[in-house]
Amino acid sequence: MRAEDRRELILEAATRVFGDFGYEGTTTAGIARAADVSQPYVVRVFGTKEKLFLEVLQRALALLLSAFRAALADASDIPVHRRLGIAYVELAANRGLLLSLMHAYVLGRDPVIGPVGRSGFMSVYRFMRDEAGFSADETQEFLAGGMLINTMIGLRMTDDYDSDAQVRELLDTAFPEKLDILLLVAADQRAEES
C-alpha cells in the first residue's frame, strides 16, 4: 500500500475513533488498532495525537465544505437550505466525521485545538453567509439544526427509534428526507460492536 493511501486509512480510522471516544478518550494505540497498523507507525506519520486530531478536523471540514459546495451547485428545484441539510445528514454515513467536529467545538479552552475549532466553525458560518447567501438569522438557524443533529447522533437516539414514540417523532422531524441513512449507519455501528 502506498504511504499516501495508508495515511488516508489512518485518518479514516482516527475520524471514527475520535468520533466515538472524543479527544481525551482516544489513544494513538486505539487508532492504530482501528487502522490495522502499528502504534509507532501512527506516531511516525502524524507525530502526536494532537497533530493527528488537528488533521482529522481539517479533513472533516474540507469534506463538509466540499459537500456543501456540491449541494449549492446542484440546480435542482429543492430549496438551497434543504439541499445543504441533506448534504449534512449524508455526511453521517462517514462515521465519526460530524462527531469529531463536535468534539473539537467543546474543546474551546484548549490552547491549540480551541482556535482551530473556532476557525473551522467560522469557515462554515462564512460559507453560509458569503457563498450560500443566507442571512445571519438563517445561518444561525441552520447551524443550530446541525448541532441538534450532531447531538442526536452522539446520543445514539436511533437506538430507541423503534421503542419510544417520542424519539421516533423527534427523529422523523429532524431528518425528514434522510432518516434511512442514520438508521443504516446506526445498524452498521451496532453490528460492528457485536
Query: What is the DSSP track for 119-175?
Result: HHHHHHHHIIIIIS---HHHHHHHHHHHHHHHHHHHHTGGGGTTT-HHHHHHHHHH-
The pTM assigned to this predicted structure is 0.91
- 124-141 pLDDT per residue, tens: 999 999 999 999 999 999
- Span 79-91, pLDDT tens digits: 999 999 999 989 9
Residue 177: band (very low, low, confident or very high) from pLDDT cuts 50, 70, 90: confident
- Which residues are CB-contacts of 7 (< 8 A; sequence separation ≥ 6)? 45
Please tell me the predicted confidence (pLDDT) of residue 95. Answer: 83
More confident residue, 154 or 45: 45
pLDDT at 49 over 80: yes
